[in-house]
């Protein structure tokens, strides 16, 4: 009986893209995952071993215990943010990456890192302009960091989208937060886009450099030392993160939570930060540690990838009217130069 219920639930999860790596067990031991869809909640306990390979995109589940079903009377968003009206698998999906617009500490030339600083007026304008660039590209789910400058950027971008769906930040931090933020209209729910916030997409933590002026820091410690802290792959600033450490958490989150959405044909937008996005691009384009340290990302300029047949195809930056689109470049190797997008679907 347990096996039958489990396989039925698993089929439902896979067909609606509710199954992500985060819902599976650890290498050994017990775990569970929850599905909330169309008034039904399934709590399923998993036992045994699982395997997952992000590049081959395969996974396996060995065993399941008994499960329990409870009926709900309300319309509720899935815990992983998937929308109920776009669960069909597709042969391809869009992935949009956007570095947040200019922040108030960008303007002051201060090391920001994980300090939660809002956008400037220019940053707001950059986000709105980014929205115009991607207004024709479908978006089914949005991921942002836990920092306000990335969240502001995501929200402002969607004000320009042609589909006029409303981005709704999911609050899964507690059972009360989930209950209080439920949507009880199915029609309204269909006109919303879930926004998932994740600290793993935060900017690199700059440690004792946070809040310091970049120019004054270079004068104090020397330009070469500060350059190494900022641009090396594995050398962190004092009590901070290296790009390597930032990449470990950002890429792990991408493969565990975001890539499964793309596999199911969901169109995804990520609004995040220079170093977390550099880390993800390193994974998407299979860059080396030497190539990624020369990668520069402009604020407020979107980059489009198409996920097709298990591969990420870089399409460059959607171009606004009468304006060239350049998102990122390397000073040494010449990657990402002047990639213009033609024929956005």
Q: What is the DSSP letter of 66?
A: E
206 is in an annotated binding site: yes
Determine whether the annotation assigns residue 113 to a binding site.
yes
| Catalytic residue (choose from 126, 129, 203, 241) | 203
CA 191, 126, 336, 288 torsion-angle sign: negative
Query: What region, left, alpha or beta, does residue 151 occupy, with left being phi > 0 and alpha being psi -120 to 50 degrees?
Result: alpha
* Angle made by CA atoms 69, 70, 73, in degrees to the nearest 5: 140
Are 154 and 195 spatial neighbours (Cβ–Cβ below 8 Å)?
Answer: yes
Active site residue 100: yes
Q: 114-124 in b/e burial notation, b at 16+ Cβ within 10 A?
A: bbebbbbeebb
Task: Classify 193 as helix, strand or coil.
Answer: strand
Whether residue 300 is annotated as binding a ligand: the answer is no
- 204 appears as a binding residue in the annotation: yes
> Given the DSSP bridges, would you call strands 166-169 and 192-197 parallel, antiparallel or unpaired?
parallel
Asked if 155 and 148 touch (Cβ cutoff 8 Å), the reply is no
Question: What is the Cα gyration radius of the chain?
Answer: 21
309 known ligand binder: no
Q: Cα separation of 26 and 46, whole Å?
A: 10
- Determine the longest span between alpha carbons in the chain, in angstroms: 70
Given a contact cutoff of 8 angstroms between Cβ atoms, the answer to whether 228 and 235 are in contact is: yes
Residue 275 known to bind ligand: yes
* CB within 8 Å of 277: residues ≥ 6 apart: 97, 99, 270, 297
Confirm or deny that 49 is annotated as ligand binding: no
305 forms beta bridges with: 95, 314
Q: Is 57 annotated as a binding residue?
A: no
Query: What's the rounded Cα separation, in Å, for the pair 90 and 104?
Result: 40
User: Is 228 part of any known ligand binding site?
Assistant: no
**Parallel, antiparallel, or unpaired: how do β-strands 141-144 and 30-37 relate?**
unpaired
112 is in an annotated binding site: yes
Q: Is 314 among the annotated ligand-binding positions?
A: no
- Is 203 assigned a ligand-binding role in the annotation? yes
76 marked among binding-site residues: no
Q: Does 101 count as an annotated binding residue?
A: yes
Catalytic option among 100, 189, 257, 273: 100
Known binding-site residue numbers for substrate? 99-106, 112-113, 149, 203-206, 214, 230-231, 274-275
Known binding-site residue numbers? 99-106, 112-113, 149, 203-206, 214, 230-231, 274-275
Q: Cite the active site residues.
A: 100, 203
């Amino acid at each position: 009986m347990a096996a039958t219920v489990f396989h039925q639930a698993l089929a439902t999860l896979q067909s609606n893209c509710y199954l992500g790596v985060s819902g599976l067990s650890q290498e050994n031991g017990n775990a569970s995952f929850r599905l909330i869809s169309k008034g039904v909640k399934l709590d399923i306990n998993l036992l045994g071993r699982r395997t997952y390979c992000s590049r081959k995109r395969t996974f396996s589940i060995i065993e399941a215990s008994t499960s329990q079903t409870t009926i709900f009377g309300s319309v509720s968003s899935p815990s992983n943010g998937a929308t109920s009206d776009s669960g069909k698998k597709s042969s391809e999906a869009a992935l949009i990456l956007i570095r947040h617009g200019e922040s108030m500490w960008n303007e002051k030339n201060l090391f920001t890192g994980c300090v939660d600083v809002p956008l400037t007026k220019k940053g707001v304008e950059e986000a709105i302009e980014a929205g115009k660039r991607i207004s024709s590209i479908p978006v089914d789910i949005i991921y942002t960091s836990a920092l306000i400058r990335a969240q502001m950027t995501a929200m402002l971008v969607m004000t320009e989208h042609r589909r006029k769906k409303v981005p709704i930040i999911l609050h899964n931090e507690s059972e009360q937060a989930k209950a209080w933020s439920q949507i009880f209209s199915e029609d309204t729910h269909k006109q919303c886009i879930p926004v998932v916030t994740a600290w793993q997409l935060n900017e690199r933590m700059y440690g004792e450099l946070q809040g310091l002026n970049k120019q004054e820091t270079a004068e104090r410690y020397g330009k070469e030392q500060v350059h190494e802290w900022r641009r090396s792959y594995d050398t962190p600033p004092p009590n901070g993160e290296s790009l390597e450490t930032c990449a470990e958490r950002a890429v792990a989150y991408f493969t565990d939570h975001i890539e499964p959405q793309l596999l199911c044909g969901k169109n995804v937008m990520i609004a995040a930060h220079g170093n977390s996005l550099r880390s993800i691009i390193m994974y998407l384009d299979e860059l080396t540690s030497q190539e990624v340290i020369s990668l520069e990302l402009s604020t407020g300029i979107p980059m489009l990838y198409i996920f097709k047949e298990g591969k990420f195809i870089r399409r460059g930056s959607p171009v606004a009217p009468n304006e060239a689109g350049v998102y990122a470049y390397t000073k040494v190797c010449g990657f990402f130069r002047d990639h213009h997008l033609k024929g956005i679907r």
